[in-house]
Amino acid sequence: MSKVTIVMLVILIVLIIACVVLYFLGKKAEKKQAEQQAQLDAVAQTVSMLIIDKGKMKLKDANLPAVVLENTPKYLRRSKVPVVKAKVGPKIMTLMCDAQIYPLIPVKKEVKATVSGIYITEVKGLRGPLETPQKKKGLFARLRNK
């Protein structure tokens, strides 16, 4: 066998091993996420709130409770997360929200939200449906319209 064939076989074996490892790690992460989602759903409650402000901030700058910062892994503390400041009853609270529903949250309006702890998982309009923001067009779509 030539050197090229041996090198190609070694690379192929390494790639197959890497794919198998990634498959099992993905399955494990999927199970962990399902457990966490079940926990979120178990403690979820519907609350009516007035959204004061929203933005993407670092965890340190978001004025979240100290327990949240302590339980967050160090490599994620500098990342920006979607944060919503809302008036829930008489209290003004800082809440985190799901990245998928962040664009749907209207500012200076009342909404009915499903909250698990300090995490907003779902938002519905209190008086009528929420306005969905228009999706930005890509470069080619804009050029095609011209």
- Cα–Cα distance between 119 and 124 in angstroms, integer? 15
Q: Which of 108, 102, 105, 52 is nearest to 82 (CA)?
A: 102
For 29-88, the pLDDT digits (tens) are 999 999 988 988 888 899 999 999 999 988 888 888 888 888 888 888 888 999 999 999
- Quick one: tokens of 35? 């457990």
Rounded mean pLDDT of 105-113?
Answer: 90
DSSP code at position 66: H
Domain ranges of the chain: 1-42, 44-125
Q: Using the predicted structure, report yes or no on whether residue 136 has a pLDDT greater than 80.
A: no
For 8-24, the pLDDT digits (tens) are 999 999 999 999 999 99
- Quick one: tokens of 119? 């995490």
DSSP code at position 112: E
Please name the residue ranges forming H helices in 43-107: 66-71
Is the full-model pTM beyond 0.75? no
Task: Classify domain 44-125 at the CATH class level.
Answer: mainly beta
